[in-house]
Every structure is written in C-alpha cells, then in structure tokens.
C-alpha cells in the first residue's frame, strides 16, 4: 500500500471536516451545524469539526462563491493537506442557486476548486449532509 493510499484510508476512518461559507444565506450553515450536534452523533463515525484547514480532510462548503470569497476559498483549499476532499452543500454551492447571475457571484464552488460530492437542497437536511459524507467515503474507498 502506498503512503498516499495509507493516509487516505486512515483519514477516511476518521474524517475531520472544515466548514467554509463562501456566501451562503446561513440556512445551509445551520443545517451543517445541526448535523454536528449530539442528536445525529456523527462523532461515532469519527467525523469531527476542525477550526483550521491544516487539520482537515474534508472541506464542507456552503453558499455560492462571491468575488470576495473566491481567493479565500482557493487559499483554504491549498492549505488543506493531501489527500483532501470537497463536499458542496446546497443549491448555491452546487451552481449559485438563488444567487446565480448576481453581479458579485461567480457561481458554484466547482468554478474555483474541484468538488467530490454534491448535496442538493435549499437547504439540505442534516441527514442528507451526513449521507454526502458517507457517499464520499464510499467513493474514495472504491477508488471512484
């Protein structure tokens, strides 16, 4: 097993996430935070919220990317160690949602950084977000 494969395996056994808002209305953020509460108890899967990209494996991104946020999200992505993964949460993060075509909005997150999993909804429910993380782990485990 190569070192990168070993690191990927280890990280997906306990995926640490960083939540990034690139211009969301805050409803998606509330759902992300709800997903992290004891009600859903995602810590039993090893999922932990981290305050720094340097400690994160998965960036959970909400909101359409505004012109102001574009450089920042790129920098956060570069600061996240490999192997790293991105989940776009909500219609805005997927393609701009209700904010698409606004003068200050560039579009979805994949206009700026690569995205591995898309979780649709406006906003998506906490269980859909947790399912997105599970799908990402399944995809990476299968090498897809």
Helix segments in 14-125, DSSP class H: 27-35, 67-79, 91-95
Q: Which of 15, 107, 108, 123 binds ligand SF4 (CB under 6 A)?
A: 123
Q: Nearer to ligand SF4 by C-beta: 90 or 126?
A: 90
Q: Which of 4, 6, 33, 122 binds ligand SF4 (CB under 6 A)?
A: 122
Measure Cα distances from 12 to 45, 71, 75 in Å: 10, 27, 23
| Span 25-44, contacts to ligand SF4 by CB under 6 A | 25, 27-28
Q: Measured between alpha carbons, how far is 8 from 120 in angstroms, rounded to an integer?
A: 25
Binding site for ligand SF4 (CB under 6 A): 24-25, 27-28, 62-63, 90-92, 97-98, 122-123
């Amino acid at each position: 097993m190569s070192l990168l494969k070993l690191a990927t395996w280890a990280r997906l056994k306990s995926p640490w996430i960083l939540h990034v808002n690139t211009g969301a209305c805050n409803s998606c953020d509330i759902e992300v935070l709800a997903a992290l509460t004891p009600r859903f108890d995602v810590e039993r899967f090893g999922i932990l919220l981290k305050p720094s990209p340097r400690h994160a494996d998965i960036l959970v991104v909400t909101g359409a990317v505004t012109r102001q946020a574009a450089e920042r999200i790129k920098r956060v992505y570069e600061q996240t160690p490999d192997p790293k993964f991105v989940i776009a949460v909500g219609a805005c993060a997927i393609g701009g949602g209700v904010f698409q075509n606004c003068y200050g909005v560039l579009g979805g997150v994949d206009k700026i950084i690569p995205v591995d999993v898309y979780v649709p909804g406006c906003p998506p429910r906490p269980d859909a977000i947790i399912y997105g993380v599970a799908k990402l782990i399944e995809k990476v485990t299968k090498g897809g």
